[in-house]
Amino acid sequence: MSLLLDHPEALHRLRKEIDTNVGYGRLLNDSDLAKLPFLRCVVNETLRLYPTVPLLLPHCSSEDCSVGGYKIPKDTILLVNAWAMHRDPKVWDEPERFKPERFEAIEVEREGFKFVPFGMGRRACPGASMGLRTVSLALGAFVQCFEWEKVVESNMDMNYNSKVIMQKATPLEAMCILRQHADRLLSQL
Protein backbone atom coordinates (compact mmCIF):
# COMPACT_ATOMS: atom_id res chain seq x y z
CA MET A 1 0.00 0.00 0.00
CA SER A 2 2.91 2.35 0.76
CA LEU A 3 4.31 1.87 -2.73
CA LEU A 4 0.92 2.48 -4.34
CA LEU A 5 0.45 5.68 -2.34
CA ASP A 6 3.87 6.88 -3.48
CA HIS A 7 2.93 6.00 -7.09
CA PRO A 8 -0.65 7.25 -7.57
CA GLU A 9 -0.62 6.40 -11.30
CA ALA A 10 -0.19 2.72 -10.40
CA LEU A 11 -2.96 2.98 -7.78
CA HIS A 12 -5.36 4.55 -10.31
CA ARG A 13 -4.50 1.91 -12.91
CA LEU A 14 -5.12 -0.86 -10.38
CA ARG A 15 -8.44 0.69 -9.29
CA LYS A 16 -9.56 0.99 -12.91
CA GLU A 17 -8.64 -2.66 -13.58
CA ILE A 18 -10.66 -3.83 -10.56
CA ASP A 19 -13.64 -1.59 -11.37
CA THR A 20 -13.66 -2.78 -14.99
CA ASN A 21 -13.22 -6.52 -14.35
CA VAL A 22 -15.07 -6.96 -11.06
CA GLY A 23 -17.46 -4.03 -11.01
CA TYR A 24 -19.37 -2.46 -8.13
CA GLY A 25 -21.97 -5.13 -7.38
CA ARG A 26 -19.85 -7.58 -5.42
CA LEU A 27 -16.63 -7.87 -3.51
CA LEU A 28 -13.55 -9.15 -5.31
CA ASN A 29 -13.07 -12.91 -4.86
CA ASP A 30 -10.55 -15.63 -5.65
CA SER A 31 -11.96 -16.37 -9.11
CA ASP A 32 -11.37 -12.73 -10.14
CA LEU A 33 -7.59 -12.86 -9.66
CA ALA A 34 -7.01 -14.37 -13.12
CA LYS A 35 -8.73 -11.31 -14.65
CA LEU A 36 -6.52 -8.85 -12.73
CA PRO A 37 -3.02 -9.08 -14.23
CA PHE A 38 -1.93 -5.64 -13.01
CA LEU A 39 -2.79 -6.62 -9.43
CA ARG A 40 -0.45 -9.60 -9.85
CA CYS A 41 2.22 -7.25 -11.25
CA VAL A 42 1.91 -4.90 -8.24
CA VAL A 43 2.24 -7.80 -5.77
CA ASN A 44 5.21 -9.30 -7.64
CA GLU A 45 7.00 -5.94 -7.89
CA THR A 46 6.46 -5.34 -4.18
CA LEU A 47 7.89 -8.78 -3.38
CA ARG A 48 10.83 -8.09 -5.68
CA LEU A 49 11.69 -4.85 -3.89
CA TYR A 50 10.78 -6.01 -0.39
CA PRO A 51 10.88 -9.80 -0.02
CA THR A 52 9.54 -11.03 3.30
CA VAL A 53 12.99 -12.26 4.26
CA PRO A 54 16.15 -10.99 2.55
CA LEU A 55 18.04 -14.28 2.96
CA LEU A 56 16.39 -17.53 1.87
CA LEU A 57 16.69 -20.74 3.88
CA PRO A 58 20.22 -22.15 3.97
CA HIS A 59 21.15 -24.83 1.46
CA CYS A 60 23.95 -27.37 1.65
CA SER A 61 25.90 -28.31 -1.48
CA SER A 62 25.60 -32.05 -2.15
CA GLU A 63 28.76 -32.18 -4.25
CA ASP A 64 31.70 -30.02 -5.29
CA CYS A 65 30.56 -27.40 -7.78
CA SER A 66 31.36 -24.02 -9.28
CA VAL A 67 29.00 -21.02 -9.03
CA GLY A 68 29.88 -17.75 -10.72
CA GLY A 69 33.53 -18.77 -10.94
CA TYR A 70 33.73 -19.67 -7.24
CA LYS A 71 34.54 -23.24 -6.23
CA ILE A 72 32.05 -24.52 -3.66
CA PRO A 73 33.17 -27.67 -1.81
CA LYS A 74 30.72 -30.42 -0.90
CA ASP A 75 28.75 -29.85 2.36
CA THR A 76 29.15 -26.06 2.24
CA ILE A 77 26.22 -24.15 3.73
CA LEU A 78 24.98 -21.58 1.22
CA LEU A 79 22.78 -18.57 1.89
CA VAL A 80 20.90 -17.00 -1.02
CA ASN A 81 20.50 -13.23 -0.79
CA ALA A 82 17.14 -12.71 -2.53
CA TRP A 83 17.17 -9.00 -1.67
CA ALA A 84 20.44 -8.46 -3.56
CA MET A 85 19.34 -10.64 -6.50
CA HIS A 86 16.15 -8.63 -6.89
CA ARG A 87 18.11 -5.37 -6.96
CA ASP A 88 20.90 -6.47 -9.30
CA PRO A 89 21.24 -3.89 -12.13
CA LYS A 90 22.68 -6.60 -14.40
CA VAL A 91 19.37 -8.47 -14.15
CA TRP A 92 16.74 -5.75 -13.60
CA ASP A 93 16.25 -2.47 -15.45
CA GLU A 94 16.17 0.35 -12.87
CA PRO A 95 16.19 -2.12 -9.96
CA GLU A 96 15.51 0.45 -7.21
CA ARG A 97 12.41 1.83 -8.93
CA PHE A 98 8.85 0.58 -8.36
CA LYS A 99 7.71 -0.48 -11.84
CA PRO A 100 4.93 -3.09 -11.66
CA GLU A 101 4.58 -3.04 -15.44
CA ARG A 102 7.95 -4.83 -15.68
CA PHE A 103 6.05 -8.03 -14.80
CA GLU A 104 3.52 -7.64 -17.61
CA ALA A 105 5.84 -9.26 -20.14
CA ILE A 106 7.38 -11.74 -17.70
CA GLU A 107 6.03 -15.16 -16.93
CA VAL A 108 7.38 -15.48 -13.40
CA GLU A 109 7.41 -19.28 -13.48
CA ARG A 110 9.72 -19.23 -16.52
CA GLU A 111 12.14 -16.65 -15.17
CA GLY A 112 14.25 -19.27 -13.42
CA PHE A 113 16.36 -17.82 -10.65
CA LYS A 114 15.66 -14.16 -11.43
CA PHE A 115 12.61 -13.72 -9.15
CA VAL A 116 12.83 -15.78 -5.96
CA PRO A 117 10.83 -14.18 -3.11
CA PHE A 118 9.71 -17.63 -1.92
CA GLY A 119 12.82 -19.62 -2.81
CA MET A 120 13.11 -22.20 -5.56
CA GLY A 121 12.81 -25.91 -6.10
CA ARG A 122 12.20 -28.46 -3.37
CA ARG A 123 12.92 -25.99 -0.60
CA ALA A 124 10.61 -23.24 -1.86
CA CYS A 125 7.97 -21.96 0.53
CA PRO A 126 5.02 -24.37 0.53
CA GLY A 127 2.66 -21.49 1.33
CA ALA A 128 3.73 -19.28 -1.61
CA SER A 129 0.55 -19.78 -3.61
CA MET A 130 -1.70 -19.21 -0.61
CA GLY A 131 0.32 -16.16 0.42
CA LEU A 132 0.10 -14.60 -3.05
CA ARG A 133 -3.65 -15.17 -3.21
CA THR A 134 -4.24 -13.80 0.29
CA VAL A 135 -2.16 -10.66 -0.29
CA SER A 136 -3.77 -10.14 -3.71
CA LEU A 137 -7.30 -10.46 -2.30
CA ALA A 138 -6.57 -8.15 0.63
CA LEU A 139 -4.89 -5.48 -1.49
CA GLY A 140 -7.58 -5.76 -4.16
CA ALA A 141 -10.35 -5.35 -1.57
CA PHE A 142 -8.61 -2.31 -0.04
CA VAL A 143 -8.41 -0.66 -3.45
CA GLN A 144 -11.94 -1.70 -4.43
CA CYS A 145 -13.58 -0.41 -1.24
CA PHE A 146 -11.59 2.67 -0.23
CA GLU A 147 -10.10 5.88 -1.60
CA TRP A 148 -6.58 6.23 -0.18
CA GLU A 149 -4.53 9.30 0.63
CA LYS A 150 -1.16 9.83 2.25
CA VAL A 151 -1.14 11.61 5.60
CA VAL A 152 2.16 13.35 4.77
CA GLU A 153 3.14 14.66 1.34
CA SER A 154 6.67 13.21 1.29
CA ASN A 155 7.39 9.71 0.04
CA MET A 156 6.92 6.88 2.52
CA ASP A 157 9.97 5.74 4.48
CA MET A 158 10.56 2.27 3.06
CA ASN A 159 13.70 1.58 5.11
CA TYR A 160 13.56 -1.48 7.30
CA ASN A 161 14.68 -1.93 10.88
CA SER A 162 15.90 -5.52 10.84
CA LYS A 163 18.51 -7.48 8.94
CA VAL A 164 16.55 -10.73 9.23
CA ILE A 165 12.99 -9.78 8.25
CA MET A 166 11.82 -6.90 6.07
CA GLN A 167 9.81 -4.98 8.66
CA LYS A 168 9.35 -1.29 7.85
CA ALA A 169 11.08 1.10 10.24
CA THR A 170 8.15 3.54 10.00
CA PRO A 171 4.62 2.10 9.86
CA LEU A 172 2.28 3.19 7.08
CA GLU A 173 0.03 6.10 7.97
CA ALA A 174 -2.72 6.71 5.44
CA MET A 175 -6.27 7.96 5.37
CA CYS A 176 -8.96 5.84 3.77
CA ILE A 177 -12.43 6.99 2.80
CA LEU A 178 -15.20 4.56 1.91
CA ARG A 179 -15.92 4.64 -1.82
CA GLN A 180 -19.48 5.40 -2.91
CA HIS A 181 -20.47 1.80 -3.66
CA ALA A 182 -18.39 0.14 -0.95
CA ASP A 183 -21.03 0.07 1.79
CA ARG A 184 -22.92 -2.60 -0.22
CA LEU A 185 -19.69 -4.53 -0.83
CA LEU A 186 -18.65 -4.54 2.81
CA SER A 187 -22.12 -5.67 3.89
CA GLN A 188 -21.37 -8.93 2.03
CA LEU A 189 -18.71 -9.87 4.59
Are the C-beta atoms of residues 39 and 15 closer than 8 Å to each other?
A: no
Give the number of other CB atoms < 10 A from CB of residue 50: 19
Question: What 3-state class would DSSP assign to 146?
Answer: strand
Q: Give CA separation, 98 vs 17, 73, 139, 151, 181, in Å.
A: 19, 38, 17, 20, 30
> Cα separation of 48 and 1, whole Å?
15
125 is in an annotated binding site: yes
The annotated binding site for heme is made up of 125
The annotated binding site is made up of 125
